[in-house]
Chain A
């Protein structure tokens, strides 16, 4: 369900009900996490920041103007969470590099609508699923061990009888090929 179809939009001045909030969380959680990651947040902490943003959103649901997009609103909260992370004094930073995040924040703009919609999230997920099913078995094995088993490059290199740099490049190429595959699948949608 896109925000435009959401009855919330027409229920002006009403506060988000719990049921509506839960539905929106389930609908947008994946895109929210990807958005936070796109701002240079350490992958270890992406889900934590997403949770923080959703907790804040729930606590402030009375501020939510139902005429606006929930996605826009929560993305704004998440952006502020990352900004706050950038500003606060912390020995253990949750972002990968402060300067890179500064640039990513500055260029992401104040209108997170540009980051897509939940419908696009679904299409991307479906395209990714199809592309993952289509890759060769050897690449699939490599991804499985890298992500599911969380093996390190050195362990993987030994498993695949490759040196670690070559293994890393192989992984890069697999990801690129999946990305290309996804874009090819999504291009008709994008051009519509």
Chain B
């Protein structure tokens, strides 16, 4: 039987056929769906007909559409296996043989695609990725740590990584997938980090940053599954909400910057770090059991017990995420801090210094809060208008560092404060330690995203001073609540920075816990001298080391 020319056939399809075709084409409206469902309910055979029509439609597409063809599917599948099971020896066996194209069922000469187009599905892009991956694999003999090259499609794109990133394999298994910058991450692929931070731009507009050790699986352009670690979801107002699935919980992030992290004992914590937006937490599959988390709130949950309690927000956990969002991809090898008395868990650092820009040149005066010759208390500079503050003169060449100060677990009842010193290899020119001066100097340092760390500047009770040597920064921090993650910016005299390696001129200060009644160091050393504690000799710094270091006096 040969089909006649249906385009010339005047007989219209039956109404139910129109419904079925509308469903197959995906353009049925709500009323159409209701009519279709009513028809399906009439007779079980109707469902059989619909299933048959859908299966036929799929076979037709497999035959006629390039990205649904058998080779494209096999390409997509082998890349999926690449992502899912790289540690398995199966791959070494599977990939070359899957690549053999079986012509038995493929190809209809008159319908062979002339040009492969790349529509919305990611599998074509994955096909390209697979081809490239196979090339790489062929060159390197199927290395156990494959590098996934960049391509143009996926549910997310890897847009930034920190310089200290170390990729990881599945728990307890060797082998890791090292995604290249610019890689399109397909649905179902896992991002596994041993350390460092990675930024993923979701196709639906949300941004995820992940800090190792972590394991995150991308499920769709707006969904990810956190297996372990901590992830920061940045969802601007109006952007499709992002859902973070985690063991026993789901968090829908809507118009907010929200961190989710796994904790010991099957616990999870979700923190809304932004001033606006919200998060809806849902326990298990039961979407009725849900709780809204507002700005500056954090919810502790348990995989089995469900929603637990509101806890203080802990933004310090996400400082490296914020740094990555702000464009800071490397920590500074020139400075380091040890705080022997601190009691923070090993994954937390009370002070982190990172290089923002090593080539800053001012074209006009840049107001700051503290300079070597203007050491006003922070509480005082806050009340000054920008033009009345001390300023770095136009034409100054310098480096900019950002210093993140985390919450301190000191006991308020003991009236403690903590003191630390950071010594730079060149003279400090000025410090922007209030939101006004930080925001104002952003333009000089480089563009800052709106979703960077919202907690800028130091609280009024904290104190900064520049030592007599001009290179040592003295920091005195009050006992803090857990919301006290803050950041400030230090401008240092310009110097060509050598490749990461042992730093020159770096000295280590010895922070110590001081009683509350210690002299107020706000803005200036009381005696104008360098810190009284002896400064240890320079130590080789092969690169950034996570803080704190387990030193004891």
Contact = CB atoms under 8 A, between A and B. Distances in A.
Interface of A: 18-19, 21-22, 25-26, 29-30, 33-40, 42-44, 46-48, 50-52, 54-55, 58-59, 87-92, 94, 96-97, 99-100, 103-104, 106-108, 115, 122, 124-125, 128-129, 131-136, 138-140, 142-144, 147-150, 160, 168-170, 172-182, 184-185
B243 to A, nearest CB: 6
Given A47-B76, A51-B188, A89-B285, A139 B6 contact: yes
B278 to A, nearest CB: 15
B30 to A, nearest CB: 9
A23 to B, nearest CB: 9
Main DSSP-derived SS at the B contact region: helix
Given A47-B121, A177-B3, A181-B2, A30 B9 contact: no
Interface in B43-98: 44, 47-48, 50-66, 68, 70, 73-74, 76-77, 80-81, 84-85, 90, 93-94, 97-98
30 contacts: A19-B97, A30-B70, A34-B58, A37-B54, A42-B26, A43-B57, A43-B61, A48-B123, A58-B90, A89-B282, A90-B223, A94-B220, A96-B23, A100-B36, A103-B47, A108-B47, A125-B63, A128-B63, A135-B2, A136-B4, A138-B5, A138-B7, A143-B111, A147-B61, A168-B25, A172-B17, A173-B11, A174-B6, A175-B60, A180-B1
A97 B54 CA distance: 13
B114 interface: yes
Nearest to A37: B58
The size class of the interface chain B forms with chain A is 35 or more
Contacts of B111: 132, 140, 143-144, 148
Contacts of B73: 29, 33, 47, 50-51
Main DSSP-derived SS at the A contact region: helix
Interface of B: 1-9, 11-13, 17-18, 21, 23, 25-26, 28, 33, 36-37, 40-41, 44, 47-48, 50-66, 68, 70, 73-74, 76-77, 80-81, 84-85, 90, 93-94, 97-98, 102, 104-105, 108, 110-111, 113-114, 117, 119-121, 123, 187-188, 204, 219-223, 240-241, 243, 250, 252, 282, 285, 287
B23 A100 contact: yes
B77 A103 contact: no
